[in-house]
């Protein structure tokens, strides 16, 4: 018998979630932080290998440890630790328990070695992430949570259908790279892409994440889509369609980020932009590209969490999240402003930050494979991320015209959480070797890109200078066009308008079609056919008797008007003598027996 607690780290989180509601006050937060420390150490000490568990006729691989799963395990536990420090103010057991089960399920996915275990954790992740949106308890959050779970249930069903077809065709539940294109693999791919917020399934992310609680938004930004990235890395490296999808997402997120007014919705669109880089890298499929995707996933979790923390700090402090209502906060929230700038520079691939050391690997992989158009699109996407986050988000939140806002102090835990992630963003940006060492094919990465401070910022200073020039040009362009760049309090129509509006017409068509079918069926079958059958059943035997007696009288030359009327009346009223009725029944029985023997 396998001790589940000593296998997949997810079960540590589940056990903690079961204990936490019985704790009081701040002891709940302290307990959660300790659990994350334990989980990080647990992941660190895991040795490569697998642990199986018998289930029906299969062996579930509930634990698969390799370089890929451990890399994601490190960042998942570390980012959750920072989030719990940041959310030390949170007292609600419901939200804390939901986070533990949600994060535990995400970790369960990355350490699962078979499709059935993966699917179990996948669906738990969908359910408990919904609770982080519902916990906000507003009308918008309730509606967003409803749409969120509908999308994820639909995506889960598509994934399940693909898994069942795959098992049926191959007889295997192992989760490895899919090399054969079939109906099952395409369904599995779609199921993963839904969670990755890939175009055109991306609107659930920008719809739901901004409506979550402050701590819930930080947590959501790090796990659902990144777990899907892990699944794509494991199952679909080198699939060309992913290059196209990734390029679309990289530009799509920038366009809508420029139009958006809400700070957390802008950050949500920036997540889509960053996911585009990762999905494109998976599509490129080379060892360098895949290592770059893992590195960028780790770095993006750090700076996205930092940005969502800073946005949550603004929301906590002033109670507002729209650019049209914010401005001048650098004076009243200087530390939050500094932390936000560090996160913004990181997402912009600014030198000395982690984004500069991870995003460039994917760009280099595209360049080495001579994918010039994807390389150019990703380059534009990188500059666009700087514009919407490094310039728009920072300027309109902290440096725009001073607004009369009542600012309350942030809890110390918020500063500590943001400070921890800020340090990591800068440290990895200066000394990326610590990151590259935990990547698959780390030797290839370190042979291809510089990894020491000297080699990056001194020996390869030309590349650093080139990045400075690009970002400087973008900054000048932003402020030149700033008078024409007015933020408006409006709702931008996203791609989901197609199936939101389209669904109405589909439902109307379905309603018309089936109601018309029901109405015509009632008229044709119930009112006409069934009624005539009933009439036949009621009078049919009488007419048969009349016909048989009519033939008998005709044969015996006794058919006159009086006898004909007498027979008709008896037939209609079932008034024949017993002998005639018995004779009729006997003849009918003989006919039936004859037909039965043919």
pLDDT in tens, 238-276: 898 999 999 999 999 898 888 888 899 999 999 999 999
pTM, entire model: 0.82
Binning pLDDT at 50, 70 and 90, where does residue 516 land?
confident
pLDDT at 377: 92
Residue 21 is given by DSSP the state G
What would the two tokens of residue 29 be? 């937060």
Strand, helix or coil for residue 234: helix
Residue 229 has pLDDT above 70, yes or no: yes
Distance set, CA 197 to CA 185, 210, 213 (Å) = 18, 15, 20
| Cα-based torsion angle of the residue sequence 347, 350, 351, 353 in order, rounded to the nearest 10 degrees | -30
> How confident is the model at residue 191, as a pLDDT?
93
**Residue % of the chain over a pLDDT of 90:** 42
Distance between CA atoms of 473 and 178, rounded to whole angstroms?
Answer: 43
Find residue 114's DSSP bridge partners. Answer: 174
Residue 490, pLDDT > 70, answer: no
Question: What pLDDT does residue 177 have?
Answer: 87
CB 93 within 8 Å of CB 149: no
> In the prediction, which pLDDT does 1 show?
42
| Collapsed DSSP state (helix, strand, coil) of residue 288 | helix
For residues 228 and 268, the answer to whether their CB atoms sit within 8 Å is no
Beta bridge partners of 244: none
Question: What kind and span of H or E run contains 499?
Answer: helix 496-521
Condensed to tens digits (0 to 9), the pLDDT of residues 94-147 reads 899 999 999 999 999 999 989 999 999 999 999 999 999 998 888 888 988 988
Whole-number pLDDT of residue 451: 86
- Averaged pLDDT for residues 32-50: 91
Tell the residue number behind the tokens 């200066």, with chain if given.
430
60 pLDDT band, cuts 50/70/90, is: confident
CB-based contact 222:304 (threshold 8 Å): yes
**3-state secondary structure at position 552:** helix
Model pLDDT, residue 111 = 93
Neighbours of 392 (CB within 10 A): 22
* pLDDT exceeds 60 at position 76: yes
- Per-residue model confidence as pLDDT tens digits over 280-296: 999 998 999 999 999 99
pLDDT bracket for residue 2 (50, 70, 90): very low
Task: Give the least confident one: 110-114, 189-193, 484-488, 553-557.
Answer: 553-557
Mean pLDDT for the stretch of residues 355-382: 90
pLDDT in tens, 174-219: 888 888 888 999 999 999 999 998 888 888 898 889 989 999 999 9
In the block, tokens 């060892």 appear at: 287
Least confident of 364-378, 489-503, 513-527: 489-503
State residue 496's pLDDT score: 65
Radius of gyration, alpha carbons of the chain? 34
């Amino acid at each position: 018998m396998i001790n589940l607690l000593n296998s997949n780290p997810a079960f540590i989180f589940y056990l903690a979630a079961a204990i936490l509601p019985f704790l009081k006050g701040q002891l709940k937060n302290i307990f959660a932080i300790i659990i994350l420390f334990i989980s990080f150490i647990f992941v660190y000490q895991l040795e490569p290998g697998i642990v199986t568990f018998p289930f029906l006729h299969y062996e579930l691989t509930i634990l698969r440890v390799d370089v890929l799963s451990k890399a994601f395990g490190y960042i998942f536990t570390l980012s959750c630790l920072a989030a719990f420090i940041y959310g030390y103010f949170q007292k609600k057991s419901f939200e804390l328990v939901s986070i533990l089960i949600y994060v535990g399920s995400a970790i369960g996915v990355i350490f699962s070695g078979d499709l059935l275990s993966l699917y179990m954790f996948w669906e738990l992740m969908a359910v408990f992430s919904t609770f982080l949106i519902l916990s906000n308890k507003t009308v918008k959050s309730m509606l967003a949570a409803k749409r969120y779970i509908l999308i994820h249930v639909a995506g889960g069903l598509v994934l399940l259908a693909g898994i069942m077809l795959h098992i049926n065709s191959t007889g295997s539940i192992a989760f490895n790279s899919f090399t054969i294109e079939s109906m099952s693999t395409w369904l599995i791919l779609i199921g993963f892409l839904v969670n990755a917020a890939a175009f055109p399934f991306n609107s659930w992310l920008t719809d739901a994440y901004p409506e979550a609680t402050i701590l819930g938004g930080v947590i959501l930004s790090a796990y659902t889509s990144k777990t899907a990235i892990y699944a794509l890395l494991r199952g679909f490296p080198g699939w060309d369609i992913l290059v196209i999808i990734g390029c679309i997402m990289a530009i799509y997120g920038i366009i809508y980020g420029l139009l958006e007014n809400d700070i957390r919705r802008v950050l949500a669109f920036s997540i889509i932009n960053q996911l585009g880089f990762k999905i494109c890298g998976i599509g490129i499929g080379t060892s360098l590209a895949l290592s770059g995707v893992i590195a960028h996933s780790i770095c993006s979790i750090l700076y996205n969490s930092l940005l969502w923390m800073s946005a949550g700090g603004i929301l906590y402090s002033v109670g507002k999240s729209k650019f049209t209502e914010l401005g001048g906060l650098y004076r009243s929230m200087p530390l939050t402003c500094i932390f936000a700038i560090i996160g913004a520079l990181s997402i912009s691939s600014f030198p000395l930050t982690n984004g500069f050391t991870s995003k460039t690997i994917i760009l280099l992989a595209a360049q080495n494979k001579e994918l010039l158009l994807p390389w150019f699109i990703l380059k534009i996407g990188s500059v666009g991320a700087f514009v919407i986050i490094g310039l728009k988000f920072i300027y309109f939140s902290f440096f725009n015209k001073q607004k009369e806002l009542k600012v309350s102090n942030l809890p110390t835990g918020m500063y500590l959480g943001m400070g921890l992630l800020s340090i990591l963003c800068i440290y990895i940006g200066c000394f990326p070797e610590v990151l590259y060492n935990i990547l698959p094919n780390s030797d290839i990465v370190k042979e291809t890109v510089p990894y020491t401070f000297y080699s990056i910022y001194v020996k390869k200073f030309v590349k650093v200078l080139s990045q400075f020039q690009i970002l400087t040009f973008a900054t000048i362009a932003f402020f030149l066009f700033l008078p024409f760049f007015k933020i408006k309090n409006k709702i931008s129509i996203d791609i989901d308008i197609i199936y939101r509006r389209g669904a109405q017409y589909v439902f109307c068509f379905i309603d018309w079609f089936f109601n018309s079918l029901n109405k015509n069926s009632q008229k044709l079958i119930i009112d006409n056919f069934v009624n005539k059958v009933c009439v036949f059943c009621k009078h049919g035997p009488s007419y048969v008797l009349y016909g048989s007696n009519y033939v008998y009288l005709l044969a015996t030359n006794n058919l006159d008007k009086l006898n004909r009327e007498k027979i008709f009346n008896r037939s209609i009223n079932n008034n024949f003598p017993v002998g005639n009725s018995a004779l009729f029944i006997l003849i009918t029985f003989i006919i039936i027996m004859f037909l039965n023997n043919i």
